[in-house]
């Protein structure tokens, strides 16, 4: 058996992401490496295709090391990763859909993103004639079962996706998801694009994480070109990232409680969320702070007035938020809905490498800001909140703790904001190069891989949303719960459809 650690050469020590070295393996080495990685308990961080190769990102959480492995199959078939890493199955199905590279001996060979409606097959590989195809859901057998198909269009203001429930009475015995409805072909549009165009697309992968995606993309490009933006730019990025986290967590806390029919919490939290967005608009010129992070830095600097405005926001939130916690914690009828609902085990979040509040509510404490610190986070004092109970209540509490933490981080970031130019010019690449970005969005770790050609155009860009490793676990968390609690469980996960479908 091979020693997998020889490939894990990206460490946390580098001040920012180092240029990503990809280890090219033979078929046998690839098969051995995947088997070994699974046996050693490594985490799958990503798996993506290109025209003629597949690349695998592995994470050793204990050692804080990442490795990139690739294999170029000559016959268009590669040994399945999904056989050993269940978290890779949907990624593999997408690779087969988009590039026509087939995972051999894969446990699931159904299409995933391709619904047979593009008019062509394998749009990013050797494109062929597309054809409409039936999709077969997994068979369910047993007494007194009934099915409830939901979506793609849902009842509320929400993204589209299909859920196939099999119930026995009111109890869900199986949920099967079908996604891909909002597949926009972002990675196809990336190919051959200039760096700024890539940034525009990256900022539109998932609207709620536009700052985090902007940062992860910028990190990948900067690591490929070997540039480090100014400390001021890094601080400003972190300020925006924490504002984004605040806005999303505040919105989520209210919305989850609303799905347990407690509208007061939604009304109150949505006011706090709106206050964050208005401050972001006043200070950075956009409510979601979209398109402000650019490779090389940020396009908007923070003025003295801006700092004062943000300090006012923090003061207001510090006064208002404890009352929300008290309200949540002292409403037994609400806790009755959230405690014990949608339980997710530690074994599953570890197996799938699920991050964010979903991982942390079930005892997996991975947070990129802590394990692979980037920008100012290495100098910030932060503890990752962790719980073991893994239910809806736990996912709310992790968000509550992270709101408090973001408030503390923001205060510290504003206090220590260094001087400097916000944006530097990017150098021309000296040749083809590639880079890796890894950023903690509000939902979890976002991975971006960018390969540039010698003219500085994008050869390949892959953006992996944290939802890839969270969506499959929703199927597990809902099992044994009643169908009526699905909205509650789903909102407590709040996975991205657009980020996943790309």
Partner 1 sequence: MRKFLLEGLLKRPLTEDAPTAEGNLATEIDRTAHRRLGRSLAIRMVDAGSCNGCELEIHALGNPYYDLDRLGLHFVASPRHADILMVTGPVTHNMKTALRRSYDAMPAPKWVVSVGDCALDGGCFRGSYAIAGGVDAVIPVDLHIPGCAPSPVDIMKGLLTILDSATASRAAGS
Q: 204 or 412: whose CB is closer to partner 1?
A: 204
Which of 51, 115, 164, 370 binds partner 1 (CB under 8 A)? It is: 115
State the minimum distance, in angstroms, from the CB of residue 274 to partner 1: 5
Among 4, 25, 221, 277, binds partner 1 (CB under 8 A): 277
Give 60 or 187: the residue with its C-beta nearer to partner 1: 187
Nearer to partner 1, 149 or 169 (CB): 149
What's the length of the chain?
Answer: 502
Question: Residue 200 interacts with partner 1 (CB under 8 A)?
Answer: yes
CB of 392 to partner 1, least distance (A): 20
User: Would you give the DSSP letter of residue 164?
Assistant: E
- Say which residues have a Cβ less than 8 Å from residue 6's Cβ, sequence separation at least 6: none
Closest CA to 407 of 475, 467, 317, 484: 317
Q: Is 119 in the site for partner 1 (CB under 8 A)?
A: yes
335 binds partner 1 (CB under 8 A): no
Chain center to CA of 16: 20
DSSP three-state, residue 411 = helix
Q: CB of residue 52 vs partner 1: minimum separation in angstroms?
A: 19
**Cα torsion angle, 248, 252, 255, 259, sign:** positive
**Least spacing, CB of residue 297 vs partner 1, in Å:** 21
Q: Does 183 bind partner 1 (CB under 8 A)?
A: yes
Q: Residue from 37, 54, 81, 201 that binds partner 1 (CB under 8 A)?
A: 201
* Residue from the set 76, 185, 420, 456 that interacts with partner 1 by CB under 8 A: 185
Residue 290 found at the interface with partner 1 (CB under 8 A): yes
308 is an interface residue for partner 1 by CB under 8 A: no
Instruction: Please tell me whether residue 287 binds partner 1 under the rule CB under 8 A.
Output: yes
Q: Is 156 in the site for partner 1 (CB under 8 A)?
A: yes
Residue 150 near partner 1 by CB under 8 A:
no
Q: Considering only CA atoms, which of 498, 246, 469 is closest in space to residue 359?
A: 469
Q: Output the CA torsion sign for 425, 430, 433, 435.
A: negative
Under rule CB under 8 A, residue 132 binds partner 1: no
Segment contacting partner 1 by CB under 8 A, of 10-18, 138-146, 281-289, 361-369: 281-289
Separation CA 422–CA 419 (nearest Å): 9
Query: Do 486 and 165 form a contact (C-beta atoms < 8 A)?
Result: yes
Closest CA to 307 of 431, 384, 417: 417
**What is the nearest approach in angstroms of partner 1 to the Cβ of residue 227?**
25
Residue ranges in 213-272 that form contacts with partner 1 under rule CB under 8 A: 251, 264, 267-268, 270-271
CB contact at 8 A, 106 and 92: yes
Contact 10, 56 (CB under 8 A): no
Among 87, 89, 94, 206, binds partner 1 (CB under 8 A): 206
**Does the footprint of partner 1 cover residue 331 (CB under 8 A)?**
yes
| Placement of tokens 């010698």 in the chain | 454
Joined tokens for residue 62: 């204990």
Binding residues for partner 1, total number by CB under 8 A: 51
Collapse the DSSP code of 419 into the 3-class scheme (helix H, G, I; strand E, B; otherwise coil) and give the result: coil
Report d(CA 394, CA 360) in Å as an integer.
Answer: 9
Element (DSSP H or E) covering residue 121: strand 120-121
List 123, 295, 373, 444, residue binding partner 1 (CB under 8 A): 123
Distances (CA, A) of 281 to 4, 102, 136, 185, 289: 47, 46, 46, 30, 7
- Are the CB atoms for 334 and 262 separated by under 8 Å? yes
Q: Is residue 338 within the footprint of partner 1 (CB under 8 A)?
A: no
Question: Which residues of the shown chain bind partner 1 in the complex (CB under 8 A)?
Answer: 115, 117-120, 123, 152-153, 155-160, 180-186, 188-189, 200-201, 204-208, 210, 251, 264, 267-268, 270-271, 273-274, 277, 281, 287-288, 290, 323, 327, 330-331, 496-498
């Amino acid at each position: 058996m091979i020693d997998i650690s020889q490939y894990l050469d990206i460490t946390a020590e580098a001040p920012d992401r180092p240029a990503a070295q990809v280890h090219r393996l033979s078929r046998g080495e690839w098969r051995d490496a995947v088997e070994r990685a699974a046996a050693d308990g490594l985490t799958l961080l990503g798996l993506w295709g290109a025209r003629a190769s597949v690349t695998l990102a592995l994470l050793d959480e204990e050692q804080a090391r990442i490795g990139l492995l690739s294999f170029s199959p000559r016959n268009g078939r590669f040994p399945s990763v999904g056989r050993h890493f269940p978290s890779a199955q949907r990624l593999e199905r997408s690779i087969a859909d988009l590039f026509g590279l087939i995972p051999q001996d894969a446990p699931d060979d159904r299409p995933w993103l391709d619904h047979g409606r593009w008019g062509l097959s394998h749009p990013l590989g050797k494109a062929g004639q597309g054809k409409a195809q039936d999709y077969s859901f997994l068979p369910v057998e047993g007494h007194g079962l009934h099915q409830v198909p939901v979506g793609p269009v849902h009842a509320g203001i929400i993204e589209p996706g299909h859920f196939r429930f099999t119930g026995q009475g009111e109890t869900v015995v199986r949920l099967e998801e079908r996604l891909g409805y909002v597949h926009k072909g972002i990675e196809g549009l990336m190919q051959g694009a200039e760096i700024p165009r890539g940034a525009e697309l990256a900022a539109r992968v998932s609207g709620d994480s536009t700052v985090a995606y902007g940062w992860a993309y910028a990190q990948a490009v900067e690591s490929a070109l070997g540039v480090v933006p100014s400390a001021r730019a890094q601080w400003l990025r972190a300020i925006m990232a924490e504002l984004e986290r605040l806005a999303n967590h505040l919105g989520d806390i209210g919305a989850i409680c609303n799905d347990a029919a407690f509208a007061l919490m939604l009304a109150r939290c949505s006011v706090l969320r709106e206050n964050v967005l208005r401050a972001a608009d006043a200070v950075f010129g956009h409510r979601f702070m979209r398109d402000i992070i650019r490779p090389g830095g940020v396009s908007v600097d923070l003025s003295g007035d801006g700092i004062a405005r943000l300090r006012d926001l923090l003061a207001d939130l510090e006064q208002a938020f404890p009352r929300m916690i008290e309200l949540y914690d002292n409403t037994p009828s609400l806790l009755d809905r959230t405690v014990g609902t949608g339980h997710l085990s530690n074994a599953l979040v570890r197996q799938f490498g699920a991050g964010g509040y979903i991982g942390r509510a079930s005892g997996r404490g991975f947070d990129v800001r802590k394990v692979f610190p980037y920008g100012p986070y290495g100098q910030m004092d932060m503890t990752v909140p962790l719980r073991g109970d893994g239910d809806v209540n736990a996912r709310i509490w992790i968000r509550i703790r992270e709101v408090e933490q973001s408030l503390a981080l923001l205060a510290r970031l504003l206090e220590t904001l260094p001087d400097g130019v916000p944006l530097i010019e990017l150098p021309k690449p000296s040749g083809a190069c590639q880079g890796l970005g890894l950023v903690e969005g509000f939902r979890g770790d976002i991975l971006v891989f960018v390969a540039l050609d010698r003219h500085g155009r994008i050869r390949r860009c892959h953006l992996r949303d944290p939802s890839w490793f969270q969506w499959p676990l929703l199927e597990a968390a809902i099992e044994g719960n009643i169908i009526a609690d699905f909205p509650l469980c789903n909102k407590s996960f709040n996975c991205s459809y657009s980020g996943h479908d790309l």
